[in-house]
Amino acid sequence: MMQMITDNTIQYEDKDLLVVYKPAGLATQSARVTSPDLVSAVTRYLKGAPVYVVHRLDQPVEGLLVLAKTKQAAAGLNKQLQTGTLNKQYYALVHQEAEKLPAEGTLVDHLWKNPQTRKAEIVAQASGKGKCAKLHYRVLTKEADTALLDVRIETGRFHQIRAQLAHAGFPILGDQKYGTQASMEHSEQLGIKNVSLFAYAVAFTHPKTGKQMAFQAKSENPAISHLLTAMN
CA atoms within 13 A of residue 80's CA, in its CB half-sphere: 23
Confidence of residue 144 (pLDDT cuts 50, 70, 90): confident
Query: pLDDT (tens digit, 9 = 90+) per residue, 14-28?
Result: 999 999 999 999 999
Residue 58 appears among annotated catalytic residues: yes
Closest CA to 169 of 107, 87, 90, 91: 107
Query: pLDDT (tens digit, 9 = 90+) per residue, 107-119?
Result: 999 999 999 999 9
In the set 37, 58, 109, 175, the catalytic residue is 58
Give CA–CA dist 36/110, Å, rounded.
33
Query: 90-190 has which fold?
Result: Pseudouridine synthase (3.30.2350)
Query: pLDDT (tens digit, 9 = 90+) per residue, 80-127?
Result: 998 989 999 999 999 986 567 889 999 999 999 999 999 999 999 888
Give the pairing of strands 197-205 and 62-68: parallel
Task: Give pTM, 2 decimals.
Answer: 0.91
User: What pLDDT is recorded for position 185?
Assistant: 95
Query: Which top CATH class is 10-86+202-231?
Result: alpha beta
Count of Cβ atoms closer than 10 Å to residue 16 Cβ? 17
Give CA–CA dist 173/211, Å, rounded.
37
Buried b (16+ CB within 10 A) or exposed e, 92-118: bbbbbbeeebeeeeebebbbbbeeeee
Give Cβ neighbours of residue 75 (< 8 Å, ≥ 6 apart): 207
Residue ranges per structural domain of the chain: 10-86+202-231, 90-190
Give CA–CA dist 51/41, Å, rounded.
10
Give CA–CA dist 188/182, Å, rounded.
10
